Amino acid sequence: MCLLLGATGVGKTLLVKRLQEVSSRDGKGDLGEPPPTRPTVGTNLTDIVAQRKITIRELGGCMGPIWSSYYGNCRSLLFMMDASDPTQLSASCVQLLGLLSSEQLAEASVLILFNKIDLPCYMAMEEMKSLIRLPDIIACAKQDITTAEISAREGTGLAEVLAWLQATHRANG
């Protein structure tokens, strides 16, 4: 099981839909216009077939207080942040620290996704890493942490996310 977590409005639902498209095309071809999405109320389960079936459980951002109810059976964690919203970064950082300190997630591999790099107001990766003190977080975390800049809307970086999921679930499976 892979958990997909992040604040409301960061693009989690669009990411899952785009990953399904990328996996079905083997990462080839233009994705075209992004499909319509609605805010997730509750949870969505989506299977991505990439060499093997990987189930992604997306939890709505409004469910933050009860995310821990879903940590059991979690092999990998995708944590999404909005690279175009500096005011949301500190709240997302607090959420991330809570996730990383959970004993149930101590063995999970973590991929931090900085989404919305297609927007003109997005912050550079180095600026975001500095603002949330990511090097310190990585140094103190028990988990293996990777980062990626993506645009779920445009499809940028999604092949790398898929490759990370494949490698993580092959190594742990």
CATH number where 58 lies? 3.40.50.300
Residue 32 is assigned to a structural domain of this protein: no
Residue 30 is assigned to a structural domain of this protein: no
Residue 166 is assigned to a structural domain of this protein: yes
Q: What residues make up the domain containing 157?
A: 2-25+37-172
Residues of the chain with pLDDT under 70: 25-30, 171-173
Residue 12 is assigned to a structural domain of this protein: yes
Would you say 10 is a known binding-site residue?
A: yes
Q: What sign does the dihedral 27-162-18-152 (CA atoms) show?
A: negative
CA dihedral 163, 159, 130, 136 (to 10 degrees): -10
CA distances from 36 to 10, 73, 77 (A): 14, 30, 24
Residue 155 is assigned to a structural domain of this protein: yes
Q: pLDDT of 111-140, one tens digit each?
A: 999 999 999 988 888 999 998 999 999 999
Residue 151 is assigned to a structural domain of this protein: yes
Q: pLDDT of 86-96, one tens digit each?
A: 888 888 999 99
- What is the predicted pLDDT for the residue at 51? 77
Residue 31 is assigned to a structural domain of this protein: no
Residue 161 is assigned to a structural domain of this protein: yes
Would you say 117 is a known binding-site residue?
A: yes
- What is the predicted pLDDT for the residue at 26? 60
- What is the predicted pLDDT for the residue at 27? 54
Would you say 129 is a known binding-site residue?
A: no
Would you say 9 is a known binding-site residue?
A: yes
Helices (H), the chain: 12-24, 86-100, 125-131, 134-140, 158-172
Would you say 73 is a known binding-site residue?
A: no
Would you say 8 is a known binding-site residue?
A: yes
Q: How many domains does the chain have?
A: 1
Would you say 7 is a known binding-site residue?
A: yes
